[in-house]
Structure 1
Amino acid sequence: MNKQSPQALPARTARNGGQILIDQLIIQGVKRVFLVPGESYLPCIDALYDHQDKIQPIVCRQESGAGYMAEAQGKLTGEPGICFVTRGPGATNASIAVHTAYQDSTPMILFVGQVGNDFYEREAFQEVDYRRMFGQMTKWVAQIDRTERIPEFIARAFAVATSGRPGPVVLALPEDTLWGKATVADVPRYRRAHSAPTPDAVASLAELIEQAERPFLLLGGSGWTPAASRQMEGFAERFALPVGVAWRRLECFDNHHPNFAGHVGWAMPESLRKRVQESDLLIAVGTRMGEATSEGYTVVESPLPRQRLVHVYPDANELGRVFHPTLPIAADVVSFAAAVAELSPSRSPGARNAGHDAHQVYLAEQEPKAAPGALNLNVAACHVRDNVPQDTCITVGAGNYALYPHAYYRFKGVGTSLAPTVGSMGYGLPAAIAAKLENPDRTVICYAGDGCFQMNLQELGVAMQYRVGIVVLVFNNGIWGTIRAHQEREFPGRTVALGFDNPEFSELIRAYRGYGEIVASDEAFGPAFARALAFANTQQLPALLELRYDADGIAPGMTLSQIRSDALARQAGAK
């Protein structure tokens, strides 16, 4: 029998703060950390030297890239992604990833070097008050001022990052805390707390479904597991429910499933928009149904949705905050899926076959649309879909180019999509690197706009250094496309400050020992994509295809010239 206290492991001999901290990460199960080294946390870097067999340090080129990789790791595993950055500029660079983790509900812990307590509150070199800086974009931000309290803070950070609505934690590490020594007990590995629905809530849910004529199941949020996804598939089948996924949460449900209705949010097809709007019961599981998913709170209105709303969410504080639910259920997705796994209708859904009908409409929408120019991005996206393994991971950042994989690719389930719901640019490449490091045997494809890619292209150095064989598709149209579309919609014909000259990306990738090609036609795409995949798989180095296309084709089924024409017509009609 283990006679150790459940609250603490035996105290060790004296260790410095860096050694204590890294020992805690090992106990918490951390196998990889992303960092940009800094003198402010040197004892932590030194402690990693003794544990290279347990923790892999990934040396990144810029803190936003390191933070994005940690956030992506958290998305993939459900365990906090770990990032170390230095004080001041390092922390500010990493803040974009913290904000992403907050809005995306991703477990993540950012460790930031800090000036010593003896210099604190003097605006010392690179000093920042991190409680004030990160206060509104984290679940918890703290500073560890005493060496002996490091185990306590680390254990709490893991618990906070994963409990309720997951999210980021930031811990500041003063230099004297890390250099100081203490004889202190370690704290055991955290255990995640789960919130589960009550039997009465499950019974009420079943009653509401049987009363409904047009129910719709909407899945989103974080924390999904393959088992939970399979349980939700069975639930949808038994009750004949059409299933949609929330904005950029395409991995929550198998897109091949005969009940899958599509991606709910900005740019969704009118048929899907109408199906959600006209549903008489909306069962939202794991998703906050934010601005993007609800299309500006119109498809699902706030505060009183036109649909009866069952809202299932792990944080009770979110229930009723934006949407008033008919039935609020405080439960995480894993516990909810388990609770409904054995739930069956008391009578057959009868003639209602909405799930299968919705899937047929979804498949019809996946036929590639026409586009101007020699290279049709709709056709290219369909080619990728049909020529990679089903467990491929697709990553994107932000921009209209991301609509192509999200419109045409059929995501298989957990781990097949990494996309920031917050819409942060520069995410796709770091996320792809994290995905390949976590699952080296999987194919990983990064979709990146020419502007989005250049925000973190320096992380190609990480792909080169650690032999990460990913394929990057760079959509080169020489404009800030999403903003150009908005500009044409609101101020047609008054284009300014939206275009830029690009380097030759196919040459740039060669500087990182990778493979590059320019693709400018439908006929060239397929063979080029096969060559890029083969290079990435055999050489374990990045491959890049630079897609040059007519900038007028701004999004699936949409052109800038048509947006401008429609806007001018509206202006003329308003006069």
Structure 2
Amino acid sequence: MTSAGHAIVRSLENHGIDRIYTVPGESFLDVLDGLHDSSIDTVVCRHEGGAAYMAEAEGKLTDLPGVAMVTRGPGAANAHVGLHTAWQDSTAMVLFVGLIPFEHREKEAFQEFDPKAWFDTGAKRVMVLDHPERANELVAEAIFAARSGRPGPVVVGLPEDIIQQQINPVPHPEIPIAMGGMTVSDWKELHNALLDSEKPLFVFGGNDWTQKAAADFTAWLEAHDLPAGAEWRCEGTVPFTSPSYIGPLGYGRPAHSQRVLDEADLIVFVGTVPGDVITGGFTSRQDWNKRNFLVTIDPGLRGRSGPVTHQIVAKPDVFVRDLLRMDLPVNDSWKSWRDKLRGLQVEFSTLPERRTSGQVTMDSLMSHLVPRLPEDCMVTFGAGEHTNWAHRYFPTHGYARMISARNGSMGYSVPSAVAASLRHPERLVVSIAGDGEFLMNGQELATAAQYGAKPLVIVADNGEYGTIRTHQERQYPDRISGTQLQNPDFALLAQAYGGFGIRVEDNESLPQALDDALHAVDDGRFAVIHLVVPQRDKAY
């Protein structure tokens, strides 16, 4: 006999979950007790939003869902931001929420809420463990639901009294997920469309790839002189240095990558669809005379806009597996088209000249930082104009090397950097945060110190919510309102949390500050560079 709470922990172990992120609560003490003797690494966070972000980032970093555990009412409310991120970013994630005892329902008990009413429109499934003997089944169902089809978040409610009940648990096997694949007709349709095309373009995105599929896809593109662009904040699946990579497609994109969407006579979207951000607010690629092939496991094509010539229902891995059999003849027009787009991207991403005097800028940062980066480095960030420099200059050389929130969620930079550093302790993880964005979850540096995560966090401090200020200037020129900030010394804050911190205001001191910060990371500590930049600093 064992408790249902302990059975949940054993079932997570059996499904390969090796880390969970949590803020503890009295509503799920029996699960916490089960974790005491578990092989699962329990990471205690400082805020439920930070825990949910870490779990969401974990879902992007692995082929299993990220897992978070929070308590009822306020804890669940705080974690909701991570669910929205997982929903819009199509990230596999499971959120376990402790609930009031079963017999206390409908009495306005302390911290009572209805999980289905709160989460049903922003999660793939919302389940409540009302029968203790179903504990293993619900874990299997939750992991399956999060991974199957278009990945996304799943919520599992755990009533405090139910998880304490003793049961004879029956192990529940992993539920296999359908991967789809190209049918013979799919293959022929795509083959013929490519042969008929003079200016084809592939667009890749999503979190449902593997390293092998990304590498095979890149090799196939390069062998056929075909260009590929990245969905917003999905750089790396086709490496930054690949001759087939023609740049990011999303907010802050270079002008050429916006135009190419309408110039291409065929676009094949792999792992993503032409949604709001890619199409610039549903303006590009809306002509139904255009040819679009959509490769996605989601038959409902959620988030799609514009024409659909043909849908291939497949996850990226199996699509690439079948694509490798498609050996196409040499096409000089493809090479000319690809080389033109690649040349524009190389010009766009060439590092600016290093400055050695004057006030420090983000251009200066990138010109000094990028040459110091190892090839396997990673970058994380949340939302804000500071992210444009990462899109433009940061060299991503593999799948899941850029971890960010495509729903534009602020506060994501530090939690995702902690998760990435814990998952890949051998790699340098750089997080580029804005001052407003950093202060939403910067307290998770305490979590980094506690568990040995060692990201390099660069805080671009321009004393304002810069993106909103930009919108404000466009619509209400010279009427700044509600966007200005007064900030602490982030370097001292980092030191208080137990890491390395340094404040940089001029270009002259930047190189040494980077070297000192990277040395601290090599020594096993996280580092924060407080970069004081001008308010109207622009990436392009």
The two structures have a TM-score, normalised by structure 2, of: 0.97
Is the 2:236–2:400 Cα contact (8 Å) retained in structure 1?
yes
Residue in structure 2 matched with residue 564 of structure 1 by the alignment: none
2:534 aligned residue (534, 547, 550) = 550
Residue in structure 2 matched with residue 50 of structure 1 by the alignment: 37
1:499 aligned residue (484, 487, 496) = 484
Higher mean C-alpha displacement, 250-259 vs 132-141: 250-259
2 CA distance for matches of 1:321 and 1:244? 17
1:449 aligned residue (434, 446, 452) = 434
Partner SS state of residue 474, structure 1? strand
Residue in structure 2 matched with residue 396 of structure 1 by the alignment: 381
Partner SS state of residue 161, structure 2? helix
1:73-110 deviation digits (Å, cap 9, x = unpaired): 11000211010000000000000001100110100000
2 CA distance for matches of 1:449 and 1:260? 28
Residue in structure 2 matched with residue 41 of structure 1 by the alignment: 28
Matched, 1:525 2:510: yes
Residue in structure 1 matched with residue 213 of structure 2 by the alignment: 228
Is the 2:237–2:400 Cα contact (8 Å) retained in structure 1?
no
Partner SS state of residue 24, structure 2? coil
Matched, 1:350 2:337: no
User: What is the letter of the counterpart of residue 149 of structure 2?
Assistant: G
2 CA distance for matches of 1:321 and 1:530? 45
Partner SS state of residue 484, structure 2? coil
Q: How many residues align?
A: 537
2 CA distance for matches of 1:190 and 1:322? 32
Is the 1:368–1:379 Cα contact (8 Å) retained in structure 2?
no
Residue in structure 2 matched with residue 340 of structure 1 by the alignment: 323
1:421-480 deviation digits (Å, cap 9, x = unpaired): 001000010000000111111000110000000000111110111121111100001101
Is the 1:234–1:341 Cα contact (8 Å) retained in structure 2?
no
Residue in structure 1 matched with residue 456 of structure 2 by the alignment: 471
2 CA distance for matches of 1:121 and 1:447? 45
Deviation at 1:191, TM superposition (A): 2.9
2 CA distance for matches of 1:508 and 1:85? 27
User: What is the letter of the counterpart of residue 525 of structure 2?
Assistant: L
Deviation at 1:521, TM superposition (A): 2.2
Is the 1:520–1:548 Cα contact (8 Å) retained in structure 2?
yes
1 CA distance for matches of 2:200 and 2:117? 44
Is the 1:109–1:157 Cα contact (8 Å) retained in structure 2?
yes
Deviation at 1:357, TM superposition (A): 2.6
1:99-135 deviation digits (Å, cap 9, x = unpaired): 1001101000000000111001112110110001001
Matched, 1:247 2:229: no
Residue in structure 2 matched with residue 213 of structure 1 by the alignment: 198
2 CA distance for matches of 1:273 and 1:382? 25
Residue in structure 1 matched with residue 181 of structure 2 by the alignment: 196
2:344 aligned residue (324, 342, 361) = 361
Partner SS state of residue 104, structure 2? coil
Against the structure 1 CA distance between its residues 220 and 512, is the aligned structure 2 distance closer, same or farther, given a 3 Å change threshold? same
Residue in structure 2 matched with residue 325 of structure 1 by the alignment: 308
Residue in structure 1 matched with residue 519 of structure 2 by the alignment: 534
1 CA distance for matches of 2:447 and 2:71? 19
Deviation at 1:25, TM superposition (A): 0.5
1:41-190 mapped onto 2 (5 Å cutoff): 41-51=28-38, 54-190=39-175
Partner SS state of residue 252, structure 1? coil
Against the structure 1 CA distance between its residues 205 and 40, is the aligned structure 2 distance closer, same or farther, given a 3 Å change threshold? same
Q: Which runs of 5+ in 1 are unaligned?
A: 1-13, 558-575
1:212-232 deviation digits (Å, cap 9, x = unpaired): 111111001121111111221
1 CA distance for matches of 2:48 and 2:214? 33
Is the 1:313–1:319 Cα contact (8 Å) retained in structure 2?
no
Partner SS state of residue 216, structure 1? strand
Is the 1:319–1:325 Cα contact (8 Å) retained in structure 2?
no
2 CA distance for matches of 1:268 and 1:435? 25
1 CA distance for matches of 2:174 and 2:298? 23
Is the 1:309–1:326 Cα contact (8 Å) retained in structure 2?
yes
Is the 1:67–1:98 Cα contact (8 Å) retained in structure 2?
yes
Residue in structure 2 matched with residue 486 of structure 1 by the alignment: 471
2:501 aligned residue (516, 531, 538) = 516
2 CA distance for matches of 1:238 and 1:300? 27
Is the 2:23–2:71 Cα contact (8 Å) retained in structure 1?
yes
User: What is the letter of the counterpart of residue 379 of structure 2?
Assistant: I
2 CA distance for matches of 1:393 and 1:472? 12
1:31-52 deviation digits (Å, cap 9, x = unpaired): 111000100000001111121x
Deviation at 1:351, TM superposition (A): 4.2
2 CA distance for matches of 1:258 and 1:542? 34
Partner SS state of residue 392, structure 2? helix
Against the structure 1 CA distance between its residues 69 and 320, is the aligned structure 2 distance closer, same or farther, given a 3 Å change threshold? closer
State the identity %: 35
1:284-303 mapped onto 2 (5 Å cutoff): 284-301=269-286
Is the 1:536–1:543 Cα contact (8 Å) retained in structure 2?
yes
Deviation at 1:356, TM superposition (A): 2.7
Deviation at 1:190, TM superposition (A): 3.5
Deviation at 1:237, TM superposition (A): 2.3
Is the 2:199–2:333 Cα contact (8 Å) retained in structure 1?
no
Deviation at 1:391, TM superposition (A): 1.1
Matched, 1:406 2:391: yes
Matched, 1:29 2:31: no
Deviation at 1:367, TM superposition (A): 2.9
User: What is the letter of the counterpart of residue 387 of structure 2?
Assistant: A
Q: Which runs of 5+ in 2 are unaligned?
A: none
2:294 aligned residue (311, 314, 317) = 311
User: What is the letter of the counterpart of residue 403 of structure 1?
Assistant: N
Residue in structure 2 matched with residue 568 of structure 1 by the alignment: none
Residue in structure 2 matched with residue 8 of structure 1 by the alignment: none
1 CA distance for matches of 2:510 and 2:186? 52
User: What is the letter of the counterpart of residue 130 of structure 1?
Assistant: P
Is the 2:274–2:303 Cα contact (8 Å) retained in structure 1?
no
Deviation at 1:378, TM superposition (A): 1.6
Matched, 1:19 2:6: yes
2 CA distance for matches of 1:368 and 1:298? 31
Deviation at 1:369, TM superposition (A): 5.4
Is the 2:56–2:82 Cα contact (8 Å) retained in structure 1?
yes
1:146-188 deviation digits (Å, cap 9, x = unpaired): 1001111111111110011001100000112111111131112
Deviation at 1:320, TM superposition (A): 9.2
Residue in structure 2 matched with residue 6 of structure 1 by the alignment: none
2 CA distance for matches of 1:514 and 1:357? 45
Is the 2:358–2:507 Cα contact (8 Å) retained in structure 1?
no
2 CA distance for matches of 1:386 and 1:470? 18
User: What is the letter of the counterpart of residue 147 of structure 1?
Assistant: P
Partner SS state of residue 535, structure 1? helix
